[in-house]
Amino acid sequence: MPLDCRKFRNGDQYVSLLGYGIMRMPRAAEGSRIIDRDKGAELVDYALEHGVNYFDTAYNYHGCTSEEFTGWALSRHRRESFNLATKMPVWMLNSREEMEAVFEEQLRKCRTEYFDFYLIHNFSSKNLEKEERLGVYEFLRQKKREGRIRRLGFSMHDTPAVLESVVKKYDWDFAQLQINYMDWEGLDAKSQYELLASRGIPVIVMEPVRGGALAAGLCGESQAIFREADPGRSVASWAIRFAASLPGVLVVLSGMSDMEQLRDNIATLSPLRPLDEREYGVIARALDAYRKSAPIPCTACRYCMDCPSGVDIPRLFALYNRHHNKGRTVYLGIDYRVIGEGRQAHHCTRCERCVKLCPQGLDIPALLEKVRAFVAENALDDIELLHPEKGVRVIGGPPSAGS
Ligand code: SF4
Ligand code: SF4
């Protein structure tokens, strides 16, 4: 069976339900940020041959070389055979001139006259003011009028309130959000999805498998629950199907690093078999097993809520469990911000009201202090971290040789 496609807003454009996230392409060497061109090209070719027609890159991926690779790999195919998506790195810009230079550089690197999908990258409360000051949205609308952009959207990791303000303020063709069964309740992905669906804004899903956390990263018991429920399917396929089963989703992006992952995802969506009630129950059981095996064995029952100080106890514990063994990362900072400032761990007054309500007997105030200290030590600022390494490039500079 062919790979499933979805219509863009009931028009005549079909987009493959599986999208290729270039961000996790295989690297040339351990520790290198450069893509292995031969292996990468083989993956791109196989994906296209099997119906994948959506490719997502960004200015800053792979030390700012991802667009060059993507442009080169796709230029070996007919332009009409794929949808190319890339993003404006607002946090790197200081002027309208730089924005123009970056956009022209992206077209050049991607070897294209236009972008099918173009996003404001990581549109969040941290760069709302800058976006307005530089007039990023208006600049991109102008590019759309000129035919350089076909569909204009944004990607976001922030609270539902920030998402709502952004979708009310501007007219969007689509939006890209982090949606997966772990974040569905845990990071408000559900309400964010529902907000976009209610406005008819197509959703591109990023991180459906949470960078592998919902595959090999699950505990043994969770994996066993999935394997027993469907021995013929991979653990990752449950996460892909969870995202793809949402009717408002246009594309499920997956950052596939090897042929095994690519083949598995294609098989999962050729065609999509939407999850049924029994299968949602399987996911709930696997999540429950994961939570119980985690360093903070919070089951997310929410008996301890609501905290009079506004602290979102189960979400903070879920965040710690997801990140406790990952070292210093930008994603920890992003996830902490998504919880919302008023609900973060430092608001705990140690009143102990919640302690007697917890059936797991957790020392909640002490654990919240642990979460607070962990975040303070390990959360990197996404604006700074997404910035490329010094010396990699100069805005508006030519693509590097060999592409
Ligand atoms: S101890 Fe902290 S988290 Fe628990 S109810 Fe009191 S303020 Fe809220
Ligand atoms: S009551 Fe205990 S187990 Fe339940 S959500 Fe609160 S901290 Fe977690």
Q: In this predicted structure, what is the pLDDT of residue 32? A: 82
Rounded to the nearest whole angstrom, what is the distance from the C-alpha of residue 309 to the centroid of ligand 1? 7
Q: What is the pLDDT of residues 244-295, one digit of tens each?
A: 999 999 999 999 999 999 999 999 999 999 999 999 999 999 999 998 888 9
69 three-state secondary structure: helix
Inter-axis angle of helices 313-323 and 330-339, to 10 degrees? 170
The ligand 2 site (C-beta within 6 Å) comprises 298-304, 313-314, 317, 357-358, 360, 362, 364
The 10s digit of each residue's pLDDT in 329-357 is 888 988 898 898 899 999 999 999 999 88
> pTM higher than 0.75 for the full model?
yes
Closest CA to 210 of 255, 176, 246, 251: 255
pLDDT value of residue 382: 61
CA torsion 171→174→179→184, rounded to 10°?
40
The whole-number average pLDDT for the span 64-88 is 97
Q: Which CATH number fits domain 5-281: 3.20.20.100, 3.30.420.40, 3.40.50.10800, 3.40.50.10440?
A: 3.20.20.100
User: What are the domain boundaries of the chain?
Assistant: 5-281, 295-385
Quickly state the pLDDT bin for 30 (edges 50, 70, 90). confident
CA 356–ligand 1 middle distance (angstroms):
11
Q: Are strands 18-21 and 54-56 parallel, antiparallel or unpaired?
A: parallel
Bridge-based pairing of strands 5-7 and 14-16 is: antiparallel
pLDDT band at residue 297 using 50, 70 and 90 as cut-offs: confident
**pLDDT > 80? residue 401:** no
Select from 273, 217, 250 the least CA-distant residue to 1: 273
Q: What percent of the chain has pLDDT over 70?
A: 95
- Note the residue count of the chain: 403
DSSP 8-class letter at 329: B
**35: three-class secondary structure by DSSP:** strand
CA of residue 223 to ligand 2 center, whole Å = 23
212 burial class (0-12, 13-18, 19+ CB within 10 angstroms)?
Answer: middle
Overall average pLDDT of the 94-108 stretch: 96
Angle (CA) 302-304-308 rounded to 5° is 120
Residue of the CA atom closest to atom 1 of ligand 2: 358
Nearest CA to ligand 2 atom 4: 301
Distance CA 202, CA 175 (A): 7
